[in-house]
Amino acid sequence: MTSKNESLFEQSQKVIPGGVNSPVRAFRSVGGTPLFFQRGQGAYVWDADGKKYTDYVGSWGPMIVGHCHPQVVKAVQDAAAQGLGFGAPTASELELANLLCKILPSLEMVRLVSSGTEATMSAIRLARGFTGRSRIVKFEGCYHGHSDGLLVKAGSGALTFGQPSSSGVPAEIAALTTVLDYNDAAGLEKTFADMGKEIAAVIVEPVAGNMNLVAPKREFLDALRNLCTKHGAVLILDEVMTGFRVSLQGAQGYYGIKPDLVTLGKVMGGGLPAAAFGGRRDIMNCLAPLGAVYQAGTLSGNPVAVAAGLTTLQLVQAPGFYDNLAKLAKQLTEGLTAAAKKHNIDFCAQSVGGMFGLYFSKTLPTSYAEVMKCDKEAFNRFFHAMLDAGHYLAPSAFEAGFVSAAHTEADIAATVAAADKIFSVWQ
Ligand SMILES: *Cc1c(COP(=O)(O)O)cnc(C)c1O
């Protein structure tokens, strides 16, 4: 008997390329049929066949207060009843902009957009307009959305010019992107020494969360800040994932690093399409209609999305919110690590605030190359066994995981117990 998930996937493949509207959903990495979800509540989601899962994906990050938080749902309903959109300014956009600038001291001005891709793409254009330079620097394994110049990762050499990692990206555009190794402060210093005058911006995930999770080294963060300042390049912290996730003030607050521009998304939309970029006033003043750098959006600052984001950002300011989130993530990673150790499995895990990484490896990876050495087949087996047991992890060994404030210690303990059972018969 085919399940509803299987039937929906079969039908979807006829009208949607690969049956999905974003490739990571397709289970290509882990194999099998992607789940079609019908609803979520708190820490749980239910698939089209009615099976319940404890959710560690959280819509890839946004659901930090859990699914269908009553206050978020109410705010969205109230906003919708007032009008779904105007394409004109509203007071709620001002409220959200003020709140973002209040929470993140590095934001002197902010512009709302609808996706993380838009935020990073616009921040790059702005940095180029501000500096009058063309080259950008990114790090292998960091994802900054799917605009042309950012869909580039290097070959193995540290200082190679960019090779597009997608067909359809002209080599001429990729050539303007220099790709370096994450956490390689010396490589960054050499690049600046060689071509510092050409570099408009360095863009980085301050905790890399799109190649599993790779934590930044202190010397790397310091090099980013110091070298950008020294050479007049714009430091863009891409906090689309880490913003309001690793701490209230994101990774910039967690590690104490001040960016020139910040990109935000995911949590700040509370599950709806809202994102932003912002930072130094002198840079933001270059944006149209004040300045010559053009950027626009029919749906930017959409009132329903803004309501979801505003309410979510009010909820995460509750005292102890991030201590609790970090404690839950730690309980999960320490529990899984202990279970694997008990059964002699090469596995380790770590968390930063409310995000975590799981690795079938003896040691924590610090670069893309090290992440690639983790045992992907072991992860895929683990993923499917956990899925069967009702625990939904990201369907790829190369994604970070997320907990929400709706998870309880009992939820995490149940997930750890399920993993322990899987590891006990692991061969
Ligand atoms: C998700 C993500 C993006 C892209 O955001 P979209 O809303 O999917 O376009 C950009 N940067 C980082 C760090 C992300 O995690």
Active site residues: 143, 238, 266
Domain at 70-315: CATH architecture = 3-Layer(aba) Sandwich (3.40)
Ligand 1 centre and the CA of 354: distance in Å?
17
Which residues line the pocket of ligand 1, CB cutoff 6 A? 115-117, 120, 143-145, 205, 209-210, 238, 240-241, 265, 275
How many residues comprise the chain? 427
Ligand 1 centre and the CA of 67: distance in Å?
20
Task: Return the pLDDT at 1.
Answer: 64
Task: Return the pLDDT at 2.
Answer: 80
* Strand 44-47, strand 152-153: pairing: unpaired
Look at ligand 1, atom 11, and give the residue with the nearest C-alpha: 144
Going by C-beta distance under 8 Å and a sequence separation of 6 or more, which residues neighbour residue 10? 2, 19
Task: Return the pLDDT at 332.
Answer: 98
- Whole-angstrom Cα distance, residue 171 to residue 162? 8
- Whole-angstrom Cα distance, residue 108 to residue 129? 18
This prediction has a pTM of 0.96
Per-residue pLDDT, averaged over 80-99, amounts to 98
* Strand 177-180, strand 152-153: pairing: unpaired
Residue 244, CB-side half-sphere exposure with 13 Å CA sphere:
34
Q: Is 190 exposed, middle or buried (0-12, 13-18, 19+ CB in 10 A)?
A: middle
Q: b vs e for 339-354, b when ≥16 Cβ sit within 10 Å of the residue's Cβ?
A: bbeeeebebbbbbbbb
> Is a pLDDT exceeding 80 seen at residue 4?
yes
The share of the chain scoring above pLDDT 70, in percent, equals 97
Q: Look at residues 61, 122, 3, 1 and name the one whose alpha carbon lies nearest to residue 404.
A: 61
What sign results for the dihedral spanned by CA atoms 265, 268, 273, 274? negative
Q: Cβ distance 25 to 34 under 8 Å?
A: yes
Cα 211–Cα 216–Cα 217 angle in degrees, nearest 5: 140
Query: Is residue 129 left, alpha or beta, with left meaning phi > 0 and alpha meaning psi from -120 to 50?
Result: alpha
Ligand 1 centre and the CA of 28: distance in Å?
20
Tens digit of each residue's pLDDT (9 = 90 or more) over 203-223 = 999 999 999 999 999 999 999
Tens digit of each residue's pLDDT (9 = 90 or more) over 151-203 = 887 443 334 456 677 888 898 999 999 999 999 999 999 999 999 999 999 99
Q: Look at residues 337, 271, 348 and name the one whose alpha carbon lies nearest to residue 307.
A: 271
The fold of 4-64+320-424 is Aspartate Aminotransferase, domain 1 (3.90.1150)
Look at ligand 1, atom 6, and give the residue with the nearest C-alpha: 116
Indicate which atom in ligand 1 lies nearest the CA of residue 209: 15
Per-residue pLDDT, averaged over 47-66, amounts to 98
What is the best residue among 25, 59, 63, 120 to mutate for testing ligand 1's pocket, by most ligand atoms within 8 Å of CB? 120
Task: Return the pLDDT at 155.
Answer: 40
- Whole-angstrom Cα distance, residue 355 to residue 350? 9
- Whole-angstrom Cα distance, residue 202 to residue 80? 39
Beta-carbon count within 10 A of 111 CB: 22
Per-residue pLDDT, averaged over 358-373, amounts to 96
How high does pLDDT run on average in the chain? 95
Indicate which atom in ligand 1 lies nearest the CA of residue 142: 13
Task: Return the pLDDT at 161.
Answer: 55
Ligand 1 centre and the CA of 56: distance in Å?
17
Q: Is 46 exposed, middle or buried (0-12, 13-18, 19+ CB in 10 A)?
A: middle
Tens digit of each residue's pLDDT (9 = 90 or more) over 103-135 = 999 999 999 999 999 999 999 999 999 999 999
What radius of gyration do the chain's Cα atoms show? Answer: 21
> Is a pLDDT exceeding 60 seen at residue 341?
yes
Domain boundaries, the chain: 4-64+320-424, 70-315
Look at ligand 1, atom 10, and give the residue with the nearest C-alpha: 144
